[in-house]
Amino acid sequence: MTLVIMAAGMGSRYGGLKQLDPLGPGGEFLLDYSIYDAVKAGFNKVVFVIKKENLELFRETVGERIEKAVKVEYAFQDIADIPENGNIPEGRVKPWGTAHAVYCCRNYVNEPFAVINSDDFYGAEAFKCLADYLGKNGDNATVHRYCMAAYMLKNTLTENGSVSRGVCLDKDMNLTSITEHTKIERLSDGRLINTEDDGSLKELNDNLHVSMNCWGFTPEFFGTLEKGLVRFFDENKGEKLNKAEYYLLTAVQDEIDAGTATVKLLETDAKWFGVTYKEDRPKVVEAIRKLIAEGVYPEKLWA
């Protein structure tokens, strides 16, 4: 099984390449802990999806130490890596979104694979759940069997601002839809709310399942991404295309709606943490040190 790590994005709210901010006592990044947990769960290859200009930086800071424990490859999220019907608008420099990031690693993955963000901490349980499901549930002729680690909303918040989360609906823990909520935060009175586009407030339940971009797929998903990108370029033209992005949750929803895939929600009560904002950093460092003290991780991860 392969772990695909989306690491091409710059953290605009964080103020830099937050994927490579040392947070562990041995200089580890958040993605080090994800890789460590994934390898323990049975993943034997890592594919980083990065910008080509960051290749040497990733090799020097991550690859050289990780490759001692697991096979490492690099795929580039290139704005020009698109289907033949695609057209790149003048002035467009931003890649085409998370679904495009995964599409760009299609030549490196021929086996069941997980997809995660590089700047989120997911916890060991998530990778064990993904590995167990992918190892037991292959494809059949008509329906692809995917999965997603489902976190409780209350466990995915930051004290330093709002967050974007994909709120999930399901039937018998099979995903039916995801709705992106882009400004979720805890109010001083304890309520959990999302600010809607019209400025109104929508109260949310703490225990809602949300997506943190922690997915399990089979290689057939690349065919879905190819078709989805063709449709994406057909539907977006001119100035609209200059701003549009093709998201993983859109590709997944398309398969669910078409009946070509099921997505099993694998519930985890793990607490997410990440560096959405610079102010999150001390809390993340503290959380890692606590896990080390509890024996979850060694002090020097790759010693």
Confidence of residue 153 (pLDDT cuts 50, 70, 90): very high
Two tokens at 177? Answer: 């839809």
Greatest mean pLDDT range, 83-92, 188-197, 250-259, 265-274: 250-259
Q: What percent of the chain has pLDDT over 70?
A: 94
Q: What residues contact residue 63 under an 8 Å CB cut-off, 6+ apart?
A: 48, 72, 74
User: What pTM was estimated for this model as a whole?
Assistant: 0.90
d(CA 260, CA 122): 28
Structure-derived torsion over alpha carbons of residues 224, 248, 144, 149, reported in degrees to the nearest 10: 170
Report pLDDT for 18.
54
**Region 81-96 average pLDDT:** 83
**Region 62-78 average pLDDT:** 90
Question: How distant is the alpha carbon of residue 205 from its chain centre?
Answer: 23
d(CA 64, CA 69): 10
Q: What percent of the chain has pLDDT over 90?
A: 51
Domain boundaries, the chain: 2-293
The answer to whether 228 and 250 are in contact (CB under 8 A) is yes
User: Is 32 a residue whose pLDDT tops 50?
Assistant: yes
Report pLDDT for 236.
86
Report pLDDT for 100.
94
**Who wins on pLDDT, 211 or 94?**
211
**Region 206-232 average pLDDT:** 93
The correct answer on CATH 3.60.110.10 for the domain covering 2-293 is no
Nearest to 296 by CA among 123, 129, 151, 127: 123
Nearest to 161 by CA among 180, 186, 179, 191: 186
Report pLDDT for 277.
79
Q: What is the mean pLDDT of the chain?
A: 88
Greatest mean pLDDT range, 3-12, 50-59, 293-302: 293-302
**Region 177-204 average pLDDT:** 87
> In this predicted model, what pLDDT tens digit does every residue of 133-152 receive, in sequence order?
998 866 555 789 999 999 99
Helices first, then strands: H and E counts in the chain: 9, 13
283-to-23, 52, 279 alpha-carbon distances in Å: 10, 31, 8
At residue 134's C-alpha, the angle toward residues 130 and 136, to 5°, is: 120
